Amino acid sequence: MGASKSDHFTDEQNELSTLFKALGHPARIAIIQQILETKSCVCGDLVQKFPLSQATISQHLKELKSANIIQGTIEGNSICYCLNPETLNKISSAISIFIEAEKCKGTRCC
Amino acid sequence: MGASKSDHFTDEQNELSTLFKALGHPARIAIIQQILETKSCVCGDLVQKFPLSQATISQHLKELKSANIIQGTIEGNSICYCLNPETLNKISSAISIFIEAEKCKGTRCC
DNA sequence: TTAATATATCGTAATATTGCAATATTGTTT
DNA sequence: AAACAATATTGCAATATTACGATATATTAA
């Protein structure tokens, strides 16, 4: 059968891959960069910046939000999104662990 | 229409998201961890370790390889995979840039 | 060369993601 | 209240991913 997430993996593996997957779309990278670039946390400016519909952008925001990569707070009748440093740190340290482990490997074949 | 990668994004955005996407599956995280854990670079041991068919694992390895996250060298009649530190560093610094940019933001709303 | 072992690829079915128009919701203003 | 603005959700159609059996390819051993 097809593409089922599977529970054959550890919680850590599932959590990590969920984070990476959320970052695995150019629009979502672009959204993150845009949020970082603008001094004030952007919201619907994104719709004007990118060649995507409002519905599509809202969906991408939702995915980033549910992965805890961004968080939004209501401001007037628009919503203000920021990055969540905690989650970024989580990702960062996972990669660091990979890098360290690779360095410490005695036997190398490639 | 549906899910098309789109060329509305910068090369950087596309490259980055491709890397993250490659990490966006628990099996591929598990494979990376397994490669790091075993002293000698593993190969088909993965097939025994995980509840996935040989074809499926080979496919996941291919994706990691084409994203340059791992590299394999032929050793006897098996193949030995290692992580590619360069690519890991690329990912790491991208995340670091996000973290730094977030820190430097004067105006915060959440 | 033949048999055995290890990995890759093909074909296909199941499932997930992406994108958008239309619509609903939520908050603001008048 | 009604009208407006911003964001979210729903319902699809198009496309991509995932998984695996079957088969192909490559290297080693006999």
Q: What is the residue extent of each domain of chain B? A: 13-103
Positions in chain A whose pLDDT score sits under 50: none
CATH number of A11-104, picked from 1.10.10.10, 3.40.50.2300, 3.40.50.300, 3.90.480.20: 1.10.10.10
Distances (CA, A) of A97 to A40, A60, A106, B30, B73: 33, 28, 16, 14, 23
> Which residues 47-106 of chain A have a CB under 7 Å from nucleic chain D?
47, 54-55, 58-59, 61-62, 72, 77-79
DSSP 8-state class, residue A49? H
Residue B110 has pLDDT above 80, yes or no: no
Nearest-angstrom CA–CA distance, A104 and B83: 12
Residue B99 has pLDDT above 60, yes or no: yes
Nearest-angstrom CA–CA distance, B76 and B87: 26
B95 vs B45, which has greater pLDDT?
Answer: B95
Residues A10, B30: C-beta atoms closer than 8 Å: yes
CB B39 within 8 A of CB A107: yes
Please give the class, per CATH, of domain B13-103. mainly alpha
Count of alpha carbons within 13 Å of A4, Cβ hemisphere only?
Answer: 7
Beta bridge partners of B70: B83
